[in-house]
Amino acid sequence: MAVIIDGKKISQQIKDELKEKVSALKAEGKTGALAVIQVGADPASSVYVRNKKNACAYIGIESLAYELPEETTEEELLHLIQELNEKEKVRGILVQLPLPGHICQEKVIQAISPEKDVDGFHPESVGNMTIGAPGFLSCTPAGIIQLLKRSDIEIAGKHCVVVGRSNIVGKPMALLMLRENATVTVTHSRTRNLPEICRQADILIVAVGKPQFIGAEYVKEGAAVIDVGIHRDENNKLCGDVKFDEVMPRASAITPVPGGVGPMTIAMLMNNCVQSIEEGR
Ligand code: GUN
């Protein structure tokens, strides 16, 4: 029977550590703000944005909210980012994704100064992460590393299978696990014999974006299972990419949905903001 990894508790510990750090930095005269930009009013995005603003308030950093209408043009958004790039007190800039279809996501991400790219999505941040140079780490994968470490799950030498190859989770996740000396396999929708490959994992990280896709037949007895998915099932209840009830008895550790990976993403965003204030870059 698996240990249930409590992401809510671990993220709270991290936020409490950050709160202390922020107060020490304030005493040294080091402060800064996070600018949070949302274009349109997608309800899920509004929840995430609210949670990010609340987390800033909790750890004691200022957040500046930019709630822009759906019809905002790409040019207007790029102009705002440029302004924020130049504003000294703004230490982090976050543009909530997805953006409306008429705005090019890549262009927007590339417009954010890498020094303020607290999401870690800019190609320069991704490049630095790839070669192990200093820079902001992508929040969800960095949060998963913290979940594993703080749950005393050894990574070095283990076989980690990542299911999914998105730019914001799958790919950076694989790179960070490699940095932690895991042996890493990345799988995706074109992978053959997916259950067989997943069954080789000591650590199985699932970010496929398909509700309850991974059942017990994908999991080796004693594996640690990390579920990045978040969906609503037919009864409007939150669920992940993993069939929790079916997989739990086989696993040694598993993250629940909600309360697993989700809260860690915000904790690591706060960590990046504090890093940015600290470095005063
Ligand atoms: N949309 C879903 N996840 C994220 C995230 O981590 N950052 C941003 N900016 N948008 C998202």
CATH number of the structural domain spanning residue 224 = 3.40.50.720
pLDDT of residue 79: 98
pLDDT of residue 162: 99
Mean model confidence pLDDT for the chain: 97
| Domains: count for the chain | 2
Residue 7 counted as domain residue: no
Helix locations, 151-238, DSSP H? 170-179, 194-198
- Which amino acid, residue 65? A
pLDDT of residue 1: 81
* Contact predicate 194/163, CB 8 Å: yes
d(CA 98, CA 168): 12
Same domain, 50 and 149: no
Residue 15 counted as domain residue: no
Cα of 191 from ligand 1 centre, angstroms: 26
pLDDT of residue 158: 98
d(CA 259, CA 102): 34
Helix locations, the chain, DSSP H? 7-27, 43-59, 74-86, 105-111, 123-131, 139-150, 170-179, 194-198, 244-247, 261-279
Same domain, 152 and 191: yes
The β-bridge relationship of strands 33-39 and 224-227 is unpaired
> Would the CB of 139 count as within 6 Å of ligand 1?
yes
Mean pLDDT of 58-72: 98
Same domain, 170 and 101: no
Atom of ligand 1 nearest to the CA of 139: 6
Pocket mutation for ligand 1, best pick of 168, 228, 266, 268 (most atoms within 8 Å of C-beta): 168
Same domain, 155 and 241: yes
Q: Which residue's alpha carbon is nearest to atom 9 within ligand 1?
A: 96
Residue 57 counted as domain residue: yes
Same domain, 230 and 158: yes
> Would the CB of 230 count as within 6 Å of ligand 1?
no
pLDDT of residue 226: 99
Residue 173 counted as domain residue: yes
Mean pLDDT of 56-63: 98
- Nearest one of 67, 74, 125, 62 to 100, comparing CA atoms: 74
Tens-digit pLDDT profile for residues 178-237: 999 999 999 999 999 999 999 999 999 999 999 999 999 999 999 999 999 999 999 999
> Would the CB of 148 count as within 6 Å of ligand 1?
no
pLDDT of residue 131: 96
Q: What is the pTM of this model?
A: 0.97
Q: Is the pLDDT of residue 132 over 60?
A: yes
Q: Is the pLDDT of residue 176 over 90?
A: yes
pLDDT of residue 280: 83
Q: How many CA atoms does the CB half-sphere of 251 hold within 13 Å?
A: 31
A 10 A CB-CB count for 79 gives: 12
Mean pLDDT of 225-250: 97
pLDDT of residue 199: 98
Q: What domain range includes position 248? A: 139-262
Residue 20 counted as domain residue: no
Categorize the per-residue pLDDT at 281 as very low, low, confident or very high, splitting at 50, 70 and 90.
Answer: low
Q: Which residues of 38-50 are buried (b: 16+ CB within 10 A; e: fewer)?
A: bbbebeebeebbe
pLDDT of residue 12: 98
Q: How many CA atoms does the CB half-sphere of 2 hold within 13 Å?
A: 28
Mean pLDDT of 106-133: 98
d(CA 143, CA 5): 12
Atom of ligand 1 nearest to the CA of 45: 1
> Would the CB of 272 count as within 6 Å of ligand 1?
no
> Would the CB of 96 count as within 6 Å of ligand 1?
yes
Percent of the chain whose pLDDT exceeds 70: 100
Query: Torsion-angle region of residue 8: left (phi > 0), alpha (psi -120 to 50) or beta?
Result: alpha
Atom of ligand 1 nearest to the CA of 95: 9
Q: Which positions are catalytic?
A: 52, 96, 119
d(CA 98, CA 84): 20
d(CA 196, CA 199): 5
Tens-digit pLDDT profile for residues 14-51: 999 999 999 999 999 999 999 999 999 999 999 999 99
Atom of ligand 1 nearest to the CA of 98: 1
Gyration radius (Cα) of the chain, Å = 19
> Would the CB of 38 count as within 6 Å of ligand 1?
no
> Would the CB of 97 count as within 6 Å of ligand 1?
yes
What are φ and ψ of residue 280, in 5° steps?
50, 40
